[in-house]
Structure 1
Amino acid sequence: MELISGTFRHLLKNTLACFSGRKIFLFVAAIAATCYLILSGTDWLYFEHTKNIFFMEWVGAVAGVAGFLVPILLPVEMYRSGRRNKNFEAMRAAMCVAQAELVALIVSIIYKAVTGRAQPELYTAFPVDVSKNFHFGFLQNGVYWGWPSSHTIVATAMAAAIATLYPRHNIAKYGACLYAAFIGFGITFMGHWLSDVVAGALMGIGVGVAIGKAFVNSQKRAT
């Protein structure tokens, strides 16, 4: 229960911090990058050249499962390990990672709900370029598919939070970044455009850094 309560502590304040200062430019960059990838035809070109059954059924499937399970299991295991070893820093880190993931998920759901972007047709023999199709409004295309990629923003937020918490721990820092990169790459084979992933990564960095810094500063004030 403490992990859950810690995850929600200062949730609104820390969420708003994701859009403050220079971090807002990451969200602006996500929109700008999306516009470029769509209008230049890169989104469609990437999809056409990477549409492969092997990648869809193996790489994409592994990324989809890992992108769902790891964000749940990692903070739980971090908290359990910290509690077992009376390592309060690890317990707080678990709360930080969990909060970064939660905020990232909320951000992605809100954007998906209002942008309603059409997903690429993976199994159509003669697909039509729908990369420019957005259905702005509310829940015009649900919140499962769409822009940005939830898997990517959550994985990147997790990695950015860990890198902020442990800037000198290369294994944790680079391991988390490699995981996020794999999720982003793999999820392009699971019904997401390249720009969904790029936008998710940029937004995830903003969220993870903001939440990570909030927890680091809170710890400094406590000591």
Structure 2
Amino acid sequence: MTTTERRVAVPVIAYLVAGSVLVVLSCLLGWWIFSRGEEPFAIDTAWNSFVADWWHPVVAGFSHVLNFVGAGWMGILVVPIGGAIGLILLRRPWAAAYFLAAEAVSAAGVQVLKHAFGRVRPEDILVLSDYGSYPSGHVANAATIAVAATVIFPRVWVGVVGAVWVLLMAFSRTYLHAHWLSDTVGGALLGAGAALLVAAAFALPLAREGTGVPAKRA
């Protein structure tokens, strides 16, 4: 076992454990919501009422921007492909592959849970959205990007910026009444968990790439 392989052994286990726990928690939250029927949690209705009373055109406009950036052709194609191209330009092809894989796994997981639980969205939704309120695909995507960026660039400020991005996206989804608050929690859990699980598969080539050690040829 090489020095690099020994160095990534612990992170791989951590990624697998943490990622699995987060994904399971997202599934369990979804099941809890599903088992309650169409009745939202008290915190869901309270938060929905709060943001409805706190209406401001600037905040609404910002939320609509995040609605555009976080999904659709922009969130599904432009952001992942643009991020991958940027990483390739930085001579990080394995990081680009990891980023694309994490985005794909996260998006697939969102659709699986949406169709498994089929939660109804808030009645006062202000944007067009796809089927299923749980989990929030926008927030899952934001969490995947945040965690993947932190894995690729392990810096405190990267993690802080990523966390802020996730919180802003979660706020915008509830501000537009596109999701209940618990939908955003489930999305964050799923997106972060997916990014960590995929990171476990890419840990060794990412470590070699980050240190300039060439990957072994088969």
TM-score by length of 1: 0.69
Indicate if the aligned counterparts of 2:16 and 2:196 stay in contact, CA closer than 8 A: no
**Per-residue Cα deviation, 1:37-72 (whole angstroms, up to 9, x for no partner):** 977511111111212553784243122112123564
Unaligned runs of 5+ in 2: 1-12, 209-214
Per the alignment, residue 128 of structure 1 pairs with none
Q: Which protein, 1 or 2, shows the higher relative CO under an 8 Å CA cutoff with sep ≥ 6? A: 2
Task: Output the CA distance in 2 between the equivalents of 1:123 and 1:210.
Answer: 33
Task: Output the CA distance in 2 between the equivalents of 1:174 and 1:70.
Answer: 21
Deviation of 1:33 after TM superposition, in Å, equals 4.9
Letter in 2 for 1:103: V
Indicate if the aligned counterparts of 2:103 and 2:144 stay in contact, CA closer than 8 A: yes
Letter in 2 for 1:185: F
Deviation of 1:23 after TM superposition, in Å, equals 2.9
**Do residues 96 (structure 1) and 98 (structure 2) align?**
yes
Task: Output the CA distance in 2 between the equivalents of 1:43 and 1:164.
Answer: 32
Deviation of 1:158 after TM superposition, in Å, equals 1.4
SS of the residue corresponding to residue 70 of structure 2 reads helix
**Do residues 43 (structure 1) and 30 (structure 2) align?**
no
Indicate if the aligned counterparts of 1:100 and 1:208 stay in contact, CA closer than 8 A: yes
Over the matched positions of the two proteins, sequence identity in percent amounts to 23
**Do residues 30 (structure 1) and 26 (structure 2) align?**
yes
Deviation of 1:144 after TM superposition, in Å, equals 3.2
For 1:160-175, list aligned pairs within 5 A: 160-168=147-155, 170-175=156-161
Task: Output the CA distance in 2 between the equivalents of 1:44 and 1:219.
Answer: 43
Distance 1:73 1:177, change over 3 A: farther
The number of aligned residues is 185
Per the alignment, residue 112 of structure 1 pairs with 114
Unaligned runs of 5+ in 1: 1-16, 125-141
Task: Output the CA distance in 2 between the equivalents of 1:40 and 1:144.
Answer: 20
The partner residue of 2:180 within 193, 197, 205 is 193
